[in-house]
Amino acid sequence: MRSSPNGYSRGTWGTGILSLLCVFCAQSDAAIALGKSFATEILHLPTMTDWAVGTTFIFVSYFAQYVITAGLFEATHPDGAWLNKDDKEKKRRWLQVTDELKLGVVAMACNVFATLVWMRYLDPMVWTYGYFDSHEYNIWWFLASIPLYLFCFDTWFYFTHRWMHESDYMWDKVHRIHHGFKHPTAFAQDAAHPFEALIQGPIGHYCVTLVFPVHPVALALFGFLASIFAIAAHDGRVYDLNSHYLHHDKGRGKNVNFNYSLFWPLWDWVFGTRWEDSKANVKKLAQPAPETWAPGKVY
């Protein structure tokens, strides 16, 4: 196995964790049980053992999707850890990817745990639960759910994201960790404080179910695609459709920031927090922040 510049074998620690999780599943009497009706639930989690095994398999699947997707972005990035022609920058990039992965695995575990808690305990209490057991589902329901999912998730994301910047406590204790990556890679998507991952992950994902019936299979598909979109948004190339990379790269942490949205710039336009390469914004960035700011320093 090839080694990264810091001397450690790439993927060794991750392989060890996944191996232990697979051993746990193999030794368990429980198995992944699919729901009897996908209109109500995708996974059937009647016991704690079923729940534990389901959680483990979802984590392994999510981890694989995260590593493969972000890995493909990084492997094809001209300034990435594989293709960068500057050996010093390549080494720095490898170290950053390693740090992002370490943070990402912890945040991911919290996300999966919270998602399975929602699926077993909270989802049945939502008025839209099992809606399509008694109502016909068709293509029009699916098409209507797409913009509503994007709107609800992005609305939640914008206001909670802005709150994490403007609250002293949330910035200092939570969101500052994610902004430790001034020039993020695709792996930075999950490199966040576990509380931030919970707030802007599972909770935002399920917001739409509070106001509109979404088929569980469609909701799972939306979550999968949203995760890929967010990974691409940290890559900083043409896939960054909403200029999230600029939020990291040109923003000054807590005090001067913009582009809080994820999917589309609606709320940034409404509240004047959209970044554009205009003279006004360049002038704003040229003004000294309350702290002594320097490129690459995080606040």
| CA 111/CA 113 separation, integer angstroms | 5
Chain segment 122-178, per-residue pLDDT in tens = 999 999 999 999 999 999 999 999 999 999 999 999 999 999 999 999 999 999 999
pTM of the model: 0.83
84, 93 contact by CB (below 8 A): yes
pLDDT tops 50 at residue 290: no
pLDDT of the residue at 289: 42
Q: Please say if the pLDDT value at position 190 is more than 90.
A: yes
Calpha distance 218→80 (Å, rounded): 34
Half-sphere exposure of 35 (CA within 13 A, CB side): 13
d(CA 190, CA 106): 9
pLDDT > 60? residue 285? no
Question: What's the pLDDT band for 12 if we cut at 50, 70, 90?
Answer: low
* Token pair listed for 75: 């492997």
- Please give the backbone phi and psi of residue 196, each rounded to the nearest 5 degrees, phi first: -65, -45
pLDDT at 131: 95
pLDDT attached to residue 241 = 82
Query: Who contacts 191 (Cβ-Cβ below 8 Å, separation ≥6)?
Result: 99, 100, 101, 103, 104, 107, 177, 178, 181, 184
Average pLDDT for the chain: 83
Residue 22: which pLDDT band, with cuts at 50, 70 and 90?
low
